[in-house]
């Protein structure tokens, strides 16, 4: 799984999705994170096609939406996602949110898809430690990834530690807190030392914390900027300074209290 990829939440289906995916691939992005609920899988698929890159060079993720959870409905939702993307397989398929009373049946469907060779890896999103423990208790296959809200204001130490111990890869959503962290003084000061932007510093902090990161942008300059994070290294002290900005503050809902 690539350490770095493109998020396409709120990217509109059609030209915006097609062009940002195509452009991102040309800047070296190899991983794209979409979901049924983003309603842009057709555009993402078209962007992949137009990029001209070989399918096996890419890592494509999608997610089953809450209203489709359950065994048969998840298998149908997976087929629909593949059709929209015009792909033969996915690299990663995730349960989008831990819908109570449903996510275990949904997981059984993901296990089937994995065993049938229709997806290369399966995982979850927005799972707290107790959700993971509950799932693992009955699962045949352990989730391989947990995609969670993760940024310097929400460092998720407990989940991160648990996932490390269970060999579940943590992946950050809203790594830039949807832009809210980009004026932070600590982060800006650190960036100035390396000639790097606040976005690049945060994304680098993800990598050095061994967290996969998928920032979103449709702006070509920012797409390129966000991908340029492999040519500098933050010191341990800088890593700690950024981590100490944690306020346990979310931009999205708490997975213990969502109503959709
Ligand atoms: P993000 O933290 O990636 O922020 C994106 C916003 O930051 C952009 O819209 C833009 O305004 C700004 N930005 C990006 N690069 C910038 C730069 N270099 N300079 C200045 N501003 C910049 O937010 P996100 O889109 O919410 O999260 C990333 C991805 O995570 C999503 O696109 C989606 O794929 C995934 N996601 C998953 C879930 C989930 O429940 N699993 C939830 C939200 C997002």
pLDDT tens-digit map of 202-257 = 999 999 999 999 999 999 999 999 999 999 999 999 999 999 999 999 999 999 99
Whether ligand 1 lies within 6 angstroms of the CB of 225 is answered as yes
* CATH number of the domain that residue 36 is part of: 3.20.20.100
Whether ligand 1 lies within 6 angstroms of the CB of 36 is answered as no
Domain-embedded: residue 116: yes
What residues are paired with 251 via a beta bridge? Answer: none
> How far apart are the C-alpha atoms of 192 and 212, rounded to whole Å?
24
Residue 31: domain span: 6-179+211-216
Domain-embedded: residue 123: yes
Whether ligand 1 lies within 6 angstroms of the CB of 66 is answered as no
Q: Whose CA is nearest to atom 8 of ligand 1?
A: 217
pLDDT at 177: 98
Which of 38, 114, 150, 194 is labelled catalytic? 38
Domains in the chain, number: 1
Mean pLDDT of all residues in 147-168 = 98
The answer to whether residue 38 is catalytic is: yes
What pLDDT digit, counting tens, does each position of 103-139 carry? 999 999 999 999 999 999 999 999 999 999 999 999 9
> How far apart are the C-alpha atoms of 174 and 206, rounded to whole Å?
12
Domain-embedded: residue 252: no
| Angle CA 198–28–187, to nearest 5 | 10
Domain-embedded: residue 239: no
Domain-embedded: residue 251: no
Reduced to 3 states (helix: H, G, I; strand: E, B; else coil), residue 189 is helix
Domain-embedded: residue 241: no
pLDDT at 67: 98
């Amino acid at each position: 799984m690539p350490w770095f990829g493109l998020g396409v939440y709120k990217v509109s289906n059609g030209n915006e999705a097609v062009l940002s995916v195509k452009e991102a691939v040309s800047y070296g992005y190899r991983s794209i994170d979409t979901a049924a609920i983003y309603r842009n899988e057709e555009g993402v698929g078209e962007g992949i096609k137009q990029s001209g890159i070989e399918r096996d060079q890419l890592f494509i993720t999608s997610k089953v939406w809450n209203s489709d959870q359950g065994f048969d409905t998840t298998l149908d939702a997976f087929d629909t996602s593949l059709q929209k993307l015009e792909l033969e397989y996915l690299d990663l398929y995730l349960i989008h949110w831990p819908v109570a009373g449903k996510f275990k049946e949904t997981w059984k469907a993901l296990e089937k898809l994995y065993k049938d060779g229709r997806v290369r890896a399966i995982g979850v999103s927005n799972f707290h430690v107790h959700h993971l423990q509950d799932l693992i208790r009955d699962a045949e296959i352990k989730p391989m990834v947990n995609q969670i809200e993760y940024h310097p204001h929400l460092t998720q130490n407990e989940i991160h530690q648990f996932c490390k111990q269970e060999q579940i890869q943590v992946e950050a959503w809203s790594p830039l807190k949807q832009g809210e962290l980009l004026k932070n003084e600590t982060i800006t000061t650190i960036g100035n030392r390396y000639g790097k932007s606040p976005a690049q510093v945060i994304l680098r902090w993800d990598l050095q914390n061994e967290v996969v990161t998928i920032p979103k942008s449709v702006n070509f300059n920012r797409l390129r900027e966000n991908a340029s994070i492999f040519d500098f290294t933050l010191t341990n002290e800088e890593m700690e300074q950024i981590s100490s900005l944690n306020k346990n503050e979310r931009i999205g809902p708490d997975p213990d209290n969502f109503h959709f």
